[in-house]
Amino acid sequence: MSYIVSARKYRPQRFSEVVGQEHVSLTLKKELQTDHLAHAFLFCGPRGVGKTTCARILAKALNCTNLTEDFEPCGKCNSCTSFQDNASFNIIELDAASNNSVEHIRALVEQVRFQPQQGQYKVFIIDEVHMLSTSAFNAFLKTLEEPPPYAVFILATTEKHKILPTILSRCQVFDFKRITVQAIVKHLQGICEAEKIKADREALHIIAQKADGALRDALSIFDRVVSSAGKKLTYEAVVSNLNILDYEYYFKVTDALLVQDMPTVMLLFEEVLYNGFDGDVFINGLAEHFRNLLLCKHKELGKLVEAGEDLRKRYEEQAAKAPKSFLLTALNLCNDCDINYKMARNKRLHVEMYLIKMCHIGMAVKLATNPPQQPVPEKKTPELTSPAGKAAPAASPKIAEEKQQPLPPSENEAPVEPSEHIAEESTSETSPAVDIAKEAEPEKVEIPEEKPAAPKRKLRKPSNGLVSGITSLEDIEKEVDHEEKLASQREAKLSPEDFQEQWKAYKEQVTSSSVKAILNNAEARLEGTKVCITVSSSLAENAIKQETKLMDFLRENLHAPMLSLDIKVDPGKQANEKRPPRPLTDSEKYQQMKAVNPLVDELRKQLDLRFKD
């Protein structure tokens, strides 16, 4: 089998060939240049970003006898060629995922004791070091802290948080970052030129986005698509092979949403489901599309859109049609739909409801910015005219009659007559201002007061139509006396017989057997407006206090809302309570039978019967 996958065939052999990790490559080359090398390195980062590749390049550079001017391994000396042929005794690679026990680490420590046969350093590369057990880490600590001068350890891991802090403090840590889409596309274009493959830039963009920042994954996807589509990679072939939802759906759905074409949106979503895609995949892709449109509305943010030049132009054209308010609201709806998607039972209907809401975003925004004007209500009262203008029309006869009719006097109050001083002023003064006020007075329409929900004490008004500002003290005293009389009449109507009847009725409707037993043993009586209950223990007292329905029942059925509860504990009552008789023993039963019929004792003697102890 002569075929070699692209990840191995095009694996970088120099620091300059490493994609997207310039900050690591430059630092390592500077250390080689100044001879400031640490004895232990820790490479951290996601999968497929070049951690092991950089470790192998650094190992070659440490023992290379003919470094280039920019401190890259030459690849031609005996050390470099032996490592490339997997025949080097100075570079030892260990997979910690399968060699994670204490015994494996102790064997590694034994190899550290031996100096390199050729070259200056003995390099140990431990991949996936976070898979080591805690005991293996502890066995490795001493050697990692004080290694021989010829030993260099290069550790690589994808999960830095699982490494013990004691290990982290002994290593020089390098954090690898995810590779950008543009860097992956550029690397794939170089491979296409070397392999003589014609590939659309949009197709390579889809592969790079699918890789999620991992170059090794991108190369694996690239090999799979090339095996399927041949030497010509098109956007359609990549989308079909990777089972990715085409972005054309998102452009069509957005155009339909902008014109509130709900049938087109529903049919497009049906086509997406028919092609085998889930609703959450569609809604997340639509949210990403809205995000790109929102970014394209600002020229300085266009670089954040990970797309080719042709696709970016389409984003800019559609972004010019879509208002910013529409995009923000649609993004919010997509986010809510994605959050609640897992909890929805009918997931298709769940997505369709949010798509329908998006169709009406424009209408909702218009209503929010320009609310419909409410019709101005017609004025029921005519406007007052100035003294120089026309005279105001006379008031309606109904209003005049209502003002002329005096209020009927109350039963407890005598009609109050106006004072002579007020009468004299009203008859004697006839100034023009008073005449204008009199003419304008009928125009005023009194607004009826709102009726209160509960009956409240009303302020009595004098019968002559004058409103009194303050109620007299005598009226207040009369009302208080009247209420006290009513309370005494209600108290007099309460009878002990009615109370005992309602007490018995409540005991019959109680469902709890323990509460019913306590109420049956308690003594209840009525003393005025106080319900006095005597019980035998504090336990019974607490049980009755917790029975809040008791007083509500008595107040409602006796029509006495002023009833109060008073519970007293009488320990002597417990002694007077009838207790169940103690069960008799066999001997006591025999003595009772003997007292009734003495012949029973003779029968016992004849049969020679005895009682068991």
- What is d(CA 544, CA 606) in angstroms, rounded to the nearest whole number? 60
Q: How far is CA 395 from the centre of its chain?
A: 63
Q: Are 217 and 181 in contact (CB under 8 A)?
A: no
Containing structural domain, residue 231: 181-242
Q: Which residue has the tokens 């995009």?
A: 327
Residue 335, domain member (yes or no): yes
Of 369, 385, 400, the residue that ends a domain is 369
Sheet holding 523-527, edge to edge: 523-527, 530-535, 564-569
- pLDDT score of 101 more than 50: yes
Q: Is residue 480 part of a domain?
A: no
Give tens-digit pLDDT for 447-481: 444 444 444 444 444 444 444 444 567 777 777 77
The residue from 175, 195, 222 where one domain ends is: 175
Give the residue-averaged pLDDT of 24-38.
Answer: 88
Structural domain count, the chain: 5
Tell me, yes or no, whether 161 and 265 share the same domain.
no
d(CA 572, CA 584): 27
* Angle (CA) 72 76 77, round 5°: 95
What does DSSP assign to residue 304? G
Same domain, 166 and 30: yes
Instruction: Give the pLDDT band (50/70/90) at residue 380.
Output: low
The predicted model gives 503-523 an average pLDDT of 86
> Checking DSSP bridges between strand 530-535 and strand 523-527, what pairing results, if any?
antiparallel
Per-range mean pLDDT, top range of 339-343, 507-511, 600-604: 339-343
CA terminus-to-terminus distance, the chain: 99
Pairing mode, strands 122-127 and 91-95: parallel
One-letter identity of residue 69: E
Which tokens in the block code for residue 482?
């009247």
- Inside any domain, residue 465: no
As a whole number of angstroms, the distance between CA 266 and CA 264 comes to 5
Q: Per-residue pLDDT averaged across 500-521, rounded?
A: 86
CATH of residue 194: 1.10.8.60
SS3 state at 313: helix
Same domain, 135 and 51: yes
Asked if the structure places residue 411 within a domain, the reply is: no
289, 322: one domain: yes
Q: Strand, coil or helix: what is 362?
A: helix
Tell me: do 207 and 309 sit in the same domain: no
Who's near 475: CB < 8 A, 6+ residues apart? 412, 413, 460
**Confidence check: pLDDT of 286 > 90:** yes
Task: Give yes or no: residues 316 and 234 share one domain.
Answer: no
Residue 226 lies in a domain: yes
- Domain of residue 321, CATH code: 1.20.272.10
SS3 462: coil
| Domain co-membership, 133 together with 161 | yes
**Residue 266: pLDDT over 90:** yes
Of 257, 230, 242, 216, nearest to 358 (Cα)?
Answer: 257
**Alpha helices, H only, 405-450:** 420-428, 432-440
The answer on pLDDT for 412 being more than 50 is: no
Task: Report phi then psi at 199, rounded to 5.
Answer: -135, 135
The span from the CA of 375 to the CA of 366, in Å, is 19
pLDDT value of residue 604: 85
Say what the pLDDT of residue 289 is: 92
In a domain, 437, yes or no: no
Distance between CA atoms of 558 and 349, rounded to whole angstroms? Answer: 57
8 Å CB contact between 183 and 19: yes
Averaged pLDDT, 385-403: 44
Return the percentage of the chain with pLDDT > 90, whole number: 15
- Decide which of 175, 195, 230 is a domain's last residue: 175
Q: What is the CATH number of the domain that holds 140?
A: 3.40.50.300
Do 52 and 189 lie in one domain? The reply is no
Question: In this predicted structure, what is the pLDDT of residue 374?
Answer: 60
Query: What pLDDT score was predicted for residue 263?
Result: 92
CA distances in angstroms from 556 to 28, 147, 205, 559, 571, listed in the order given: 90, 91, 79, 5, 32
Higher-pLDDT residue of 377, 106: 106
* Crossing angle between the packed helical segments 347-359 and 279-296, to the nearest 10 degrees: 30
Residue-averaged pLDDT of the chain: 79
Listed range (225-239, 362-376, 529-543) with the worst mean pLDDT: 362-376
* Coil, helix or strand at residue 568: strand
Q: Are the beta carbons of 43 and 155 closer than 8 angstroms? A: yes
Amino acid at 73: P
Tell whether 231 and 356 lie within a shared domain: no
CA torsion angle 314 320 322 324 (round to 10): 120
- Tell me, yes or no, whether 254 and 363 share the same domain: yes
The answer to whether residues 253 and 165 belong to one domain is no
What percent of the chain stands above pLDDT 70? 78
Confidence of residue 142 (pLDDT cuts 50, 70, 90): confident
Sheet harboring 91-95: ordered strands across? 91-95, 122-127, 151-157, 40-44, 172-175
Going 90 to 96 to 98 to 102, the CA torsion angle's sign is positive
Q: What is the mean pLDDT of residues 555-565?
A: 83
Q: Looking at the structure, tell me whether residues 107 and 202 fall in a common domain.
A: no
Greater confidence, 224 or 379? 224
CB-count burial class (<10 Å; 0-12, 13-18, 19+) for 485: exposed
Phi/psi for 341 (5° steps) reads -65, -40
Residue 591 covered by a domain: yes
In a domain, 398, yes or no: no
DSSP notation for 389-416: SPPPPPPPHHHHHHHHSPPPPPSSSPPP
